[in-house]
């Protein structure tokens, strides 16, 4: 009896876990955008999903508002590699935070919680 | 209660509980690997290793008694303690380029199951050592 109860309990737990959590697979990040998008005050979105910035590289005009939306259930950041340029701070699940870069240049950034996550914003 | 269950020693019931908890621990790690962490370097491999190890130890523990079962239970305790300590480190800082700043439900559930696994497996070891004299 005890064994049956244990099997049922464990089995049902696994079923719930395995059926409830999957979000499906996603393709790898699209190729870096070559064209300059945005413009002063215009908004360009970067999704954070499955521990990756999508797209990982964007090319924007100076003054473009870059919005980072976190689709993952764990927190992320978008923090400039050079430190002071920009740092969104912690972005919660489904939260969006924005940064605006006015000075032309190439800005690498990463997630403070998961440093293997990297992206690039090219401003020109 | 079936005749078989009636014959079970109390430590065997604890052993089955430990087996169930181990399977649950492995299942959570497998689910997190499949749905969430498969793209995270190093951590993905560790989660998969935990799931496979938990499954193998559970199977072996189901088929073993006496001293081998004690060794397997000690192995389960060691593996689970490592998982708990790793989670604690990832909560406070970065471990293998990964941190866990958010107390997600699977994280809480995994921690609870792992704590129970350590307690139950330790209880089994103590009881079986006592039985073997």
pLDDT digits (tens, 9 = 90+) for A49-104: 999 999 999 999 999 999 999 999 999 999 999 888 899 999 999 999 999 999 99
Adjacency order of strands within the sheet including A118-123: A57-60, A118-123, A105-110, A79-80
Helix B105-132 × helix B66-92 angle, to 10°: 150
Query: Is the omega angle on the peptide bond into residue A55 within 30 degrees of 0, that is, cis?
Result: yes
Q: Do B5 and A6 touch (CB under 8 A)?
A: no
As assigned by CATH, the class of the A43-123 domain is mainly beta
What's the CA dihedral at A75, A80, A85, A91 to 10 degrees? -10
Contact B27 A23 (CB under 8 A): no
Contact across the interface for B20 and A74, Cβ inside 8 Å: no
Q: Which among A14, A22, A73 has the least Cβ separation from residue B102?
A: A73
pLDDT digits (tens, 9 = 90+) for A10-55: 443 443 443 333 333 333 444 444 587 877 779 999 999 999 999 9
Question: Residues of A4-23 as b/e, b for ≥16 C-beta within 10 angstroms?
Answer: eebeeebeebbeebeeebee
Please tell me the pTM assigned to this model: 0.74
């Amino acid at each position: 009896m005890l064994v049956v109860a244990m099997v049922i309990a464990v089995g049902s737990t696994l079923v719930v876990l395995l059926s409830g959590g999957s979000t499906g697979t996603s393709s790898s990040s699209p190729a870096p955008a070559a064209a300059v998008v945005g413009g002063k005050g215009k908004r360009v979105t970067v999704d954070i999903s499955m521990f990756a910035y999508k797209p990982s590289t964007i090319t924007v005009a100076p003054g473009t508002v870059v919005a980072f939306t976190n689709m993952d259930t764990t927190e992320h950041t978008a923090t400039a590699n050079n430190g002071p340029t920009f740092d969104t701070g912690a972005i919660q699940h489904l939260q969006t935070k924005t940064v605006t870069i006015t000075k032309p240049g190439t800005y690498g950034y990463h997630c403070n919680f998961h440093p293997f996550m990297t992206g690039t914003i090219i401003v020109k | 209660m079936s005749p078989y269950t009636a014959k079970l020693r109390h430590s065997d019931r604890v052993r089955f509980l430990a087996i169930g908890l181990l399977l649950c621990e492995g299942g959570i790690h497998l689910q997190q690997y499949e749905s969430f962490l498969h793209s995270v370097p190093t951590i993905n491999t560790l989660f998969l290793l935990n799931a496979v190890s938990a499954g193998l130890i559970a199977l072996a523990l189901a088929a073993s008694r006496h001293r081998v079962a004690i060794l397997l239970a000690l192995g389960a305790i060691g593996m689970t303690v490592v998982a708990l300590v790793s989670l604690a480190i990832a909560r406070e800082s970065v471990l293998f380029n990964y941190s866990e700043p958010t107390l997600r439900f699977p994280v809480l559930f995994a921690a609870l199951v792992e704590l129970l696994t350590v307690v139950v497996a330790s209880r089994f070891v103590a009881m079986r050592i006592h039985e073997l004299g």
